Chains A and B, each alone.
Chain A
């Protein structure tokens, strides 16, 4: 990141004013151009820079959190496709926090329509909301939005840069631009001579950027093909810099301890023993906890253990049962939303066979492999902070406020992330590092949370209760009436991030239930917000992570009541609602040999969910041996509209499945006296190489809109596993994790 800082100061061109030796490109239809982040001293620029060229080489800016999903590679490929550079010719950097890097589609995802039936007008509304996103500082990586966000904008950035460089070459050669072509970082003259982009950058800087039409898919060289990841070499040689790997001269290491009883106070603490321990410099009172600063992280953690502290109680129900009792109470109040109400669920057709079921889904931690941490250096007038995060502008502003500086006085470096899954959108771990740094001015300090601190101070996936009643007639679904109660993650997070009270229907509570592409004639979904204040947030696939399970499990129960094949039953229920959804179900049926013979002592289940603009269907096979149930195989079919990088899509859908199956099998966070009962991996098991199924994937491209792939694979994997266990055992899953009711192999 410091490298970018240097490039920036030395060499950028802003608007039509050339600085020394470099140029930044990028022109998009944005109603209010944001300031060019690459030189904050120059406000009101007309360019949004994603392409930086200086005499040393070409740098592409991918201002998206790289948390494993491969976005730096795909984002760079979008630019490189039009710019005519090879990925191994360029450097890819995250860049600074900036409004210019706003997420243009994340608020469209918040629209309470169904998604798959979105009209042109609604798409236009989504784009308008994107512009508000800029105003709200929503430079966020999440919601599977990076690919749709960058798909047109980044190709346009590359095309504009290419044509402007060609124009500079045309003027130098005194020939028409149309006679020039580009290749591998150079403009090629009609006589075959090459003018490197790096030699043309300064001249191009003086020109008005030229917009150019995007190339047709048939001309793509990089997109549509698997690209080697730009971050791979560093990650397999131990040379990648995650925020926990930041090292600065004279750096200190710190440990954090906060009240495990969430929301409780720190009444008093005695640090005399801790301060006498080897390597310990300081114990800092943070009001709601304390930090120990020492010469290494372990010594700091040991000293934190030695602090005698009295914690106040938590303002939450005292037992897991009482918390779920409180969630259930929400059903007695008014519905927060009725985002679907087709037909009349109170009057199903005569002869309908009705069933009902209730499902309990637990709170979940994110448990990223890299525990929360950040590094900070405070000088009195400036704060520099290194943090792997998904929300840089808001986090920068929160750090500024925490140390009493203006946002402009805070320089935030966004590093690689050892997993995000939604957790790293939260400002807390950066803010605590900033607060510790303020107490030890001019000393860089890295604040690392222990695994226990990480797991016990998460913003958890909300626990939920789903109540369904439904009916079948003549082998088909004729009615589904669902009620979901949970804490609203979106209202709580928006209040935390933006200070905005959010009212109205909370889509995240019912996502994955109300917006499923089924033509069930009587179909109603209501959401209820639980009156609880446990810290909750966004967990890979958000509301669909519980609704995609309960809704689909109930469909499976309906199929059984209808004495129908579960997959054929879903196809029939879809009717002609949304062809891409039918097609993924048909694809996974064929891929898995669903209609073929099954081995003895095995069971199979199918799961389907439409979320984040992607229909995804998964088949899971379970097998019983020696009283243990394992998961030998999985098949996935998903439609992302346009597949930009098949190899990376395979990784994303495989990973989303593994994340979902880990949670479905083993994971839950329960709270006793407001404190998490699970503190480390032995209490919060996940899939291992020995329990991971073999995965087959088919990607379809039938739907018209490009969609992101980080999340949609998670819900149907969880659903399919439960349905497979029913097929094997005859026992219906009604709660997660499944290890409570089935003898799963660990």
Chain B
């Protein structure tokens, strides 16, 4: 029996075993490839999406256990209609290879939901599960501060 999941506001009936991780449902079934596979063991954060606003590692959430509405990077903003965080990422030219950045941005978005003006220590705490092998961390930090300011100023 198909499982129904809501992703970026759209309902999908997915005919897959319930133990398939959400990551692979998104990527291989729904064609939402912005969410990345990095480690499969929740150690790198590349697969981070939000479920009801909470940042989760989609490689660890089974399809049958998806408890709410899923938001992926594609649902956060688009070229031409960037979210504040994506705009800050653009302004600070954060990405190098870019592979981890979807996960970084989704994690940062969840941080700003709960902590609108995070300190450096709060950023460290929230973002340390998201690995970047290119070392873009200083710009990630700066972009999060900028986005927080942007949101505050409306």
Contacts and interface: CB of A to CB of B under 8 A. Distances in A.
A301 B132 CA distance: 25
A253 to B, nearest CB: 6
A659 interface: yes
Nearest to A301: B40
B136 A655 contact: yes
A229 interface: yes
A369 B132 contact: yes
A369 B136 contact: no
Interface in B90-143: 90, 93-102, 105, 123-125, 127-141
B144 to A, nearest CB: 10
A687 B99 contact: no
B97 A419 contact: yes
Contacts of A68: 95-98, 134
Contacts of A295: 28
Contacts of B139: 651
A681 B36 contact: no
Contact of A232 (B36, B95, B133): B95
Contacts of B77: 237
Given A229-B95, A235-B101, A689 B41 contact: no
A278 B18 CA distance: 11
Interface in A99-123: none
B79 A681 contact: no
A367 interface: yes
A695 B105 CA distance: 22
Given A239-B79, A296-B24, A689 B98 contact: no
Nearest to A446: B28
Interface residues of B, number: 63
Contact of B133 (A238, A301, A419, A694): A419
Contacts, number: 196
A67 B97 CA distance: 5
Interface string A637-665: 00000000001000100111111001000
A278 B124 CA distance: 41
A659 B100 CA distance: 15
A116 to B, nearest CB: 27
B100 A369 contact: yes
A238 B34 contact: yes
A573 to B, nearest CB: 30
Interface string A653-680: 0111111001000000000000000001
Contacts of A681: 38-39, 41, 43-44, 131
A343 to B, nearest CB: 40
5 contacts: A279-B17, A297-B27, A370-B97, A419-B99, A690-B128
Interface of A: 67-70, 226, 228-229, 231-242, 244-245, 247, 253, 278-279, 295-299, 301, 367-371, 416-421, 448, 450-451, 647, 651, 654-659, 662, 680-682, 686-692, 694-695
Interface of B: 16-17, 20-21, 23-25, 27-29, 31-41, 43-44, 46, 72-74, 77-79, 82, 86, 89-90, 93-102, 105, 123-125, 127-141
User: Across chains A and B, which 10 residue pairs bring their CB atoms closest together, nearest first?
Assistant: A238-B34, A658-B135, A418-B99, A68-B97, A235-B98, A238-B73, A68-B96, A296-B28, A245-B33, A690-B124
Given A451-B41, A658-B132, A689-B132, 14 more contacts: A235-B98, A237-B79, A237-B82, A238-B33, A239-B78, A244-B33, A279-B17, A299-B20, A369-B131, A654-B138, A658-B133, A681-B38, A686-B131, A688-B131
